[in-house]
Structure 1
Amino acid sequence: MKKKVVEAFSIKCVKEFAAPKEVLEQVYSIEKLSFKNPYPKYLFYTLLMEVPEFFLVCLMEGRVVGYIVASLKNGEGHILSLAVHPNYRRRGIGSALLAKALTLMRIDGAWRVKLEVSENNVPALEFYKSHGFKIIGRIESYYEDGSGALLLQKTF
């Protein structure tokens, strides 16, 4: 019988790093590999200043292999971006990042969390549904290419 190999990874807040710029460069590299319309690089620097407690990265052997960034205002959380490097997908990294961010937001008073996902991104939609998110609406022409997004929500 073949044994399943469990790879070790850790999740850390970006603000814990002595050189967050290097970490953000790795995050941006994953963003570009993961999304057809990636966020601009400067946005990640802005988010680090605005929501440092909800900017998490997953490390394997000292390298960033995934990240999540979220915000919280008036009890409502918002997942802004979640991505895992293509070479490290389907290993539980995205689930671990999402679980950690949801836990932190809940501790800080979130009663619900929302996010937008491309209506064409079936794997991401299924991922979020498997973590208790429900579709609550659609946003027309959300992305630069004119495609729409689905609005998802999870309540606690």
Structure 2
Amino acid sequence: MNPDKEIRFLPFQAEDQAAVKALILAGLAGHWGTLDLSLNPDLNDIGRSYAGAYFLVAWQGQTVVGTGALVPLSADTAQIVRMSVAAGLRRKGIGGQILARLCDHARLNGLQKIILETTATWQDVIEFYQTHGFRITHYQDGDAYFVLALSA
């Protein structure tokens, strides 16, 4: 993959299913060192699992290189889930661009805050979210929980 090739950001389409699932699972396997497929049933039918969400897919040419979803929880709050960037393209701004687009979408839809969680031992991921304005609200059961208050 050429890291200088233009990245396109498009909403998830049913035909993206296999590539998006593979990218997310590869990212999880990379972080955990192993993978339990039974823990990710939402990835078996992303279109159905995230029907009410804004699920963004980053493309470099014909290759999926990143994902992120904004899932509405209430009239004023949404949760970011399934953030993932291809291992060889991390720290090149793709994750930040996905996150910015998800936050912009939330603002445009009148949301007041975004929450998310990640594994508490994934320090690089925690630092990524903190760099983008998220603050840790608490730790629970091995996870770090974040919030970002949105302004109009």
Q: TM-score, normalization: structure 1?
A: 0.81
Quick one: which amino acid aligns to residue 34 of structure 1?
G
Q: 1:135 to 1:43 in 2, by over 3 A?
A: farther
Q: Pairwise mapping of residues 38-117 of structure 1 onto structure 2 (< 5 A)?
A: 39-40=40-41, 41-42=43-44, 44-51=46-53, 54-72=54-72, 73-117=74-118
Counterpart secondary structure, 1:67:
strand
Amino acid in the other structure paired with 1:12: L
SS of corresponding position for 2:21: helix
TM-superposed deviation, 1:81: 1.5
Residue 12 (structure 1) aligns with: 10
The alpha-carbon deviation at position 21 of structure 1 amounts to: 3.4
- Deviation of 1:102 after TM superposition, in Å, equals 0.5
Distance 1:50 1:89 in 2: 28
Give the drift of 1:42: 2.4
Shift of 1:46: 2.4
Looking at structure 1, the residues matched to 95 and 105 of structure 2 have their Cα atoms a distance apart, in angstroms, of 15
> 1:119-139 CA deviation, whole Å, 9 max, x = no partner?
010110000000000000112
Moved over 4 A (4+): none
SS at match of 2:51: helix
CA contact (8 A) 2:21 2:44 kept: no
SS of 1:87's equivalent in the other structure is helix
Maintained 8 Å contact 1:9/1:60: yes
Q: SS of 2:133's equivalent?
A: coil
Distance in 1 between residues matched to 2:87 and 2:102, nearest whole Å? 21
Find the aligned partners of 2:109 and 2:130 in 1 and give their Cα distance. Answer: 23
Uncovered stretches (5+) of structure 1, i.e. residues with no partner: 15-19, 141-147
Look up the equivalent residue of 2:113 and give its one-letter code: R
Partner in structure 2 of residue 136 of structure 1: 137
CA contact (8 A) 1:31 1:39 kept: no
TM, length-normalised to structure 2: 0.83
Give the root-mean-square deviation of aligned CA atoms: 1.7
Offset of residue 11 of structure 1: 0.5
Name the % identity.
Answer: 22
User: Once the 2 structures are TM-superposed, how far is the Cα of residue 69 of structure 1 from its aligned partner?
Assistant: 1.0
